[in-house]
Structure 1
Amino acid sequence: MSALTLREMTAKDCGPVAGIRVRGWQSAYRGLMPRSHLDAMTVADNFERLRERLLRGDGTVTDLVAEAGGRIVGWACHGPYREEDRRTADAELYAIYVDPGHYGTGIGGRLLAESVRRCTSAGHGRMFLWVLKENKGARRFYERAGFTADGAEEPFEVQGVAVPEVRYVRDLTG
């Protein structure tokens, strides 16, 4: 793989990022969510949601892309932690996806490290994230990066199937 560049996402990146997000869900959540839900996901729907959010953003959410050889191969998104209807002083990793053809190449780790670095530099005391309880691979990934499950769980349901999430946290002050 050619050199990896991390940069902020632009509107022109929404198409490739939408494709990575859909393929990421279909790959990472296979066996954890109903297949019919994963199969129904479309790049077009994801593109519109990403583009609208990016264009009407207030500057508090950061979208990062990983680019190799002129091609987007990963995406991460972070911002203020959302606690019910309010934002707190802590940070939250909202999403991180790597094109399935690039799993295991370190792209996810680089995106996560950059998100952590930016949130630390911005003065956030902690960074939270939510991950599907049964997504053991993702949980190991976050644990290797210094995140720990803090005992909080949220119910999440897809087409009548329970797929609960657990919360992870990492201190950014040490």
Structure 2
Amino acid sequence: MSQRITRAVIRRAAPEDAGAIARVEVDSWRAAYLGLVPASDLNALSTQARAASWRRILSHAAATGTRAWTLHAEDAVLGFASAGPTRDEDDDPTEVGELYTIYLLPAAWGRGLGAALLDTAQADLARRRHRVMTIWVLEGNTRARRFYELSGFGRDGARRPTRVGAGSLPEVRYRRAL
């Protein structure tokens, strides 16, 4: 979609945003991971289950250091991101922050909204005195990898398997100074 968004608002997410976040996550997964993840796994994704998970995450965010944001435009939530201290054992969580999630509805791709969400997460981690930001991304997700590379991130050599549906896929880690 080439139409530009003229007014988008990013705000901190709250537990009552869980349903909208889940809808964005499931729709984005089904589009972004088509061909990477078996269609049966994508079709089995449940907005209700993801909403319950996001309600828990957002209800306990203060205790875990997780922060999440929703991007609103055109009277709807079009995207979201979450970040906090790294969960990686090879990094210091006081120095390294991690982008846990960033998703947009497919109709919002290519409109500069992902960059706005990424900027919000980066600024928050920098305010919390993290010096580095990391992101794990499916190795086969070339669209996301290109986005991160254009945003100044580079692969740091770390690689791990991650559970996706009934199987496992490789992820690679990206890193940049804040």
- TM-score class, shorter-chain normalisation, is over 0.9
Equivalent-residue separation in structure 1 for 2:85 and 2:142 (angstroms): 25
- CA shift at 1:59, angstroms? 5.8
User: In the TM superposition, what are the counterparts of 1:110-121 in structure 2 within 5 Å?
Assistant: 110-121=116-127
Q: Determine helix, strand or coil for the equivalent of 1:63.
A: strand
Taking a change above 3 Å as real, the CA distance of residues 13 and 85 of structure 1, as seen in their structure-2 partners, is farther
Equivalent-residue separation in structure 2 for 1:16 and 1:160 (angstroms): 25
Aligned counterpart, 2:113: 107
Choose from 14, 21, 25 the match for 2:29: 25
**Structure 2: stretches of 5+ with no match in the other structure:** none
Work out whether residues 5 and 68 of structure 1, in 8 Å CA contact, stay in contact via their aligned partners in 2: yes
Aligned counterpart, 1:77: 82
Choose from 15, 19, 22 the match for 2:19: 15
Work out whether residues 139 and 170 of structure 2, in 8 Å CA contact, stay in contact via their aligned partners in 1: yes
Choose from 117, 130, 136 the match for 1:130: 136
Q: Kindly provide the CA deviation profile for residues 102-138 of structure 1, in whole angstroms up to 9, marking residues without a partner as x.
A: 1111111100011111111221010011000011110
User: In the TM superposition, what are the counterparts of 1:24-63 in structure 2 within 5 Å?
Assistant: 24-57=28-61, 58=63, 60-63=65-68
Taking a change above 3 Å as real, the CA distance of residues 27 and 110 of structure 1, as seen in their structure-2 partners, is same
Choose from 84, 87, 94 the match for 2:100: 94
Q: CA RMSD in A?
A: 1.8
> What TM-score does the superposition give when structure 2 sets the normalisation length?
0.91
Equivalent-residue separation in structure 1 for 2:169 and 2:104 (angstroms): 21
Work out whether residues 24 and 105 of structure 2, in 8 Å CA contact, stay in contact via their aligned partners in 1: yes
**Structure 1: stretches of 5+ with no match in the other structure:** none
Equivalent-residue separation in structure 2 for 1:154 and 1:60 (angstroms): 23
Equivalent-residue separation in structure 2 for 1:163 and 1:105 (angstroms): 28
Choose from 135, 149, 153 the match for 1:147: 153
Q: Determine helix, strand or coil for the equivalent of 2:77.
A: strand
Number of residue pairs matched? 172
